[in-house]
Structure 1
Amino acid sequence: MNTFQIVGGNPLHGNFHPQGAKNEALQVICAILLTSDLVRIKNIPEIQDVLILIEILKTVGVKVIRNSKGDYTFCSEEIDFDFLKSKEFRKNGAQLRGSIMLLGPLLGRFQEAYIPVPGGDKIGRRRLDTHFQGFISLGAKFLYDEEEKYYAVTAEELQGNYILLEEASVTGTANIIMASVLAKGTTQIYNAACEPYIQQLCKMLNSMGANIQGIGSNFLTIEGVEKLRGTEHTILPDMIEIGSIIGLAAMTKSEITIKNVSWKNLGNIPDTFKRLGIHIDKQEDDMHIPAQEHYKIQKFMDGSILTVSDAPWPGFTPDLLSIILVVSTQAQGSVLIHQKMFESRLFFVDKLIDMGAQIILCDPHRATVIGLNQEIPLRGTMMTSPDIRAGISLLIAALSAKGTSLIHNIYQIDRGYENIDGRLRALGADITRVKI
């Protein structure tokens, strides 16, 4: 089992280059199934979840060429539907949650799609109703084999429709968009997710010949077309990794410059960290975080305690709440963290409490953090990473802590962060990957 051994308490320094966005990569890579032409995608993060998805695509007949690091060309001229129905595919497809987004493009192009119950982070209930209700609204038939844990959607012909989403699901929106672009007539999606990932997917599809209006809003209008062509697409820098490094710089009192962050696609992420008292400077398209001995949490205008909560875009992304929580443990002041979307994502705080953090877990969705103001450092300990975002949060805590920490199950971190130990060592971090 791979483990990170970390000696904390050392300030870091240097330039950090963020990887391509994981969540965007999973969507746009699935979108290559909508055409038989060549599709080239650049800035793909070579992380476990993305590499597994690429291998799954290969098994169903997609030809894949790795032009260089992070640069791939795909061709899905022929798809093996017999393999899609096989037990081997059920095993492969169950490895990650992102495999659910194979359904939309397969259904849109071939009028049939099959997928096992997807895997992914264990962060509470993550319903798939939004996906399947959208497909049904387009005229598809839905089948769930409870014994085999297997989904199937089929249609004689998809027909555009007005769809009001029950929730602004990012992957659900992506799946319905991909099913709609080749459907007959007009599809309108209201309460659509509008994250930069979705915007990028829509822009890529339009470059392939789709007709999608309302990009960047929660109301999308899609005029179905008969065929899509090939294209070339570049993935945005990963805003979750950018936020993680902001937190790392603050916790370790480090001066770090994050290169080419695509400021216009970061939403309120920088401002949320600024409310914790963290200085952030904009230098063209770079982000500079100067070394700070202390940072003070702001209060609301009426003097009440600050609450940081997640919300659909352009609200604060839930993927960074774990980072905000960890960073708050060494701030001056207190903050209430309200994780609305997932009921199991805050359970990693017991590991931070073991390190000396002052945290009250109010319920599965809320935690109050009383900052230590960098006066009492966290202490090194042995931990296990439960999911991607909690894993990187524990890694940040360990890098700020006094003494040595061990983090087991780092596969969870590798799923979302490419060569994170190597890139952190380049900043001066004392982190080693060991087998225990």
Structure 2
Amino acid sequence: MVNAFEIQGGKPLKGEITPQGAKNEALQILSAVLLTEEKVTVSNIPDIKDVNKLIELLGDMGVIVNRINDDTYTFEAKNINQDFFQSEGFKAKGGGLRGSIMIVGPLLARFGKASIPKPGGDKIGRRRLDTHFLGFEKLGAQFNYNPADGFFNVDASNLHGTYILLDEASVTGTANIVMAAVLAKGTTTVYNAACEPYLQQLCKMLNRMGAKISGIGSNLLTIEGVERLGGTEHRMLPDMIEIGSFIGLAAMTGSEITIKNVMYKELGMIPDVFKRLGIKLELRGDDIFIPAQDHYEIETFIDGSIMTIADAPWPGFTPDLLSIVLVVAIQAKGSVLIHQKMFESRLFFVDKLLDMGAQIILCDPHRATVIGLDKQVQLRGISMTSPDIRAGVSLLIAALSAQGKSTIYNIEQIERGYQHIDKRLLALGADIKRI
């Protein structure tokens, strides 16, 4: 069965939209429930595939999972079934979910051992898991790969604090190492640690459970190992990628939209980058109000040269929003160079935008120059396929602003990261249906 969105574009939208809980935070927080046998309550959990799969996996391991309402669950990891980690079921589920690597740190810390199927590769590049493994080894874990069953068996019966300099400021790598270190003997220092708000949330939650982590929000974390952790309650931040996507959507479609409860102080430079594209936005309480705009003009640098927007580790601009910025720039006045430094092949969806009538020069796999149309020419609707989560939403925004009908296939990719996106856009007045 083919799932696709059919969109009649070119209509301004209006209304309020509330961002879901942060997907990237959810994968870390849900893994952390394994660190204690006491009850942990988590709210503002997004209802999306990647997160639901992880919740299901926790249940299969023996965690008692109760859904209290739409976005709130309780977890009790009293009796974890160790045999499950050698099973075919775990191999199938764990291998198919990139977030499953996040359970390794907590399992090592609490039980002194873990098994993981050799992880599946991701389209963005393969170096991603080395940081996790190197960190665990520094803490004293030993890895044995069994080619017969395709599992890594990890022995961590003697985890001890140490100094770790991460080879890259990996968010998931930092989170995994922190979760392993909280119950290790002695003090661990992690330098070049990621410091994204998601990671700060995880560290604050662990401290409420009884961990001793200092340096939260900086790139140097100090973790004093403790004997055990207790239960807690935790509420996820709103998803900053969704917030950025909705700002872009409002500008591109000339819509008046209010984004509710955004936790503005956690958004870093995201609002400023959109302001550089000429988008007007106002903070009202903790809501962002975007007025309907017929035009928005990209700023230049002070010396008059073309604006460059590039991604960087936090507190730099998140790579997940670069594709949104690229699409929004299509209808701006002026030009901008988009430089995707952290991942390869994330700009290849540009060919679909060219088919819609955008003026973009793809310089190489990392850089694209967008020459804004200033809404003098409308994009035209086409049929297209979504290559990954972020490009999928960028194409959705382009389709909503385009003249005529667009069809987007492979929307499973979009739904890995955005909950009930069609229903939420319908509520703003979008003409979108699932076919």
Name the TM tier (shorter chain). Answer: over 0.9
Task: Note the alpha carbon deviations across 1:353-409, whole angstroms, 9 max, x for none.
Answer: 111111111111111111111111111001111111111111001000111011111
Moved more, 26-35 or 365-374: 365-374
Q: SS of the counterpart of 2:128?
A: coil
Matched, 1:92 2:62: no
Measured in 1, the distance between the counterparts of 2:17 and 2:313 equals: 28
Q: How does 1:4-403 map to 2 (within 5 A)?
A: 4-119=5-120, 122-145=123-146, 148-403=149-404
Q: Secondary structure at the match of 2:29?
A: helix
CA distance in 1, matches of 2:284, 2:95: 43
Against the structure 1 CA distance between its residues 409 and 119, is the aligned structure 2 distance closer, same or farther, given a 3 Å change threshold? farther
Contact 2:109 2:156 in 1 (8 A): no
Deviation at 1:152, TM superposition (A): 2.9
Structure 1 portions without partners, runs of 5+: none
Q: Secondary structure in 2 aligned to 1:128?
A: helix
Counterpart Cα distance in 1 of 2:399 and 2:176? 38
CA contact (8 A) 2:339 2:368 kept: yes
Q: Deviations over 1:242-293 (max 9, x none)?
A: 0000000011000000001001100000000000000010111110011100
For structure 2, the 5+ residue unaligned runs are none
The alignment yields a C-alpha RMSD, in angstroms, of 1.1
> TM (normalized to structure 2)?
0.98
Deviations 1:39-94, CA, capped at 9 Å, x for gaps: 00000001011001111111111110000001000011111121111122111012
Tell whether the 8 Å contact from 1:125 to 1:342 is kept in structure 2 after alignment: no
Q: Shift in Å at residue 125 of structure 1? A: 3.1
Q: Structure 2 CA distance, aligned partners of 1:143 and 1:278?
A: 53
More displaced, 151-160 or 332-341? Answer: 151-160
Q: What amino acid maps onto 1:198 in structure 2?
A: L
Q: How far 1:147 moved relative to its partner?
A: 6.3
Whether contact under 8 Å (2:205, 2:234) holds in the other structure is: yes
* 8 A contact 1:123–1:387 mirrored in 2: no
Q: Structure 1 length as normaliser, TM-score?
A: 0.98
**Amino acid in structure 2 at the alignment position of 1:4:** F
Q: CA deviation at 1:350?
A: 0.9
Q: Deviations over 1:3-34 (max 9, x none)?
A: 00000000000011110000001100000000
* Structure 1: distance between partners of 2:30 and 2:380: 41
Moved over 4 A (4+): 145-149
- CA-to-partner distance for each residue in 1:154-177, whole Å, 9 max, x for gaps? 122100000000100000000000
Distance in 2 (alpha carbons) for counterparts of 1:405 and 1:145 = 48
Tell me the distance in 1 between the aligned counterparts of 2:117 and 2:15. Answer: 44
Secondary structure in structure 2 of the residue aligned to 1:115? strand
Structure 1 position 143, deviation (Å): 2.8
Query: Which secondary structure state, in structure 1, belongs to the residue aligned with residue 248 of structure 2?
Result: helix
State the distance in 2 between where 1:146 and 1:169 align.
27
Change in CA separation of 1:375 and 1:126 when aligned onto 2, cut-off 3 Å? farther
CA contact (8 A) 2:65 2:73 kept: yes
CA distance in 2, matches of 1:383, 1:117: 33
SS at match of 1:184: coil
Q: Cα distance, 1:303 vs. partner?
A: 1.1
